[in-house]
Copies of this chain bind each other. A is one copy, B any other.
Amino acid sequence: MTSYEEAETEETVTCLHMTFYHPCQEDKMMFRCLNFCKREQLRVDETAKFGRDSSICRYNLIDSRVSRIQFSLQFYRKLNSSEFCFEIKNMSKKTKLIVDRTELGYLNKTDLPWKCIICFGDYQILTEMQEGESMDYFETYLRLAQMPFLQERCLPSLQPVPETGIFPSLFLSQDESPKEMDENESY
Contact = CB atoms under 8 A, between A and B. Distances in A.
Given A78-B108, A108-B76, A91 B49 contact: no
Given A74-B74, A105-B77, A109-B76, A135 B93 contact: yes
A66 interface: no
A91 B75 CA distance: 11
Interface in A101-120: 102, 104-110
Given A79-B110, A110-B79, A135-B107, A45 B69 contact: yes
Nearest to A93: B135
A115 to B, nearest CB: 21
Contact of A44 (B44, B56, B102, B107): B107
Interface in A75-95: 75-79, 84, 89, 91, 93
A105 B79 CA distance: 8
Interface residues of A, number: 26
Contact of A49 (B45, B74, B77): B45
A123 B69 CA distance: 35
A140 interface: no
Contacts of A108: 76-79
Given A79-B108, A106-B77, A107-B77, A91 B135 contact: no
Contacts of A56: 45
Contacts of A89: 74, 76
A72 interface: yes
Interface in A31-75: 44-45, 47, 49, 56, 69, 72, 74-75
Cβ-closest 9 pairs across A and B: A77-B107, A79-B108, A76-B107, A76-B109, A45-B69, A77-B108, A45-B91, A47-B47, A76-B89
Given A76-B109, A93-B135, A107-B135, 4 more contacts: A45-B49, A45-B72, A45-B91, A84-B107
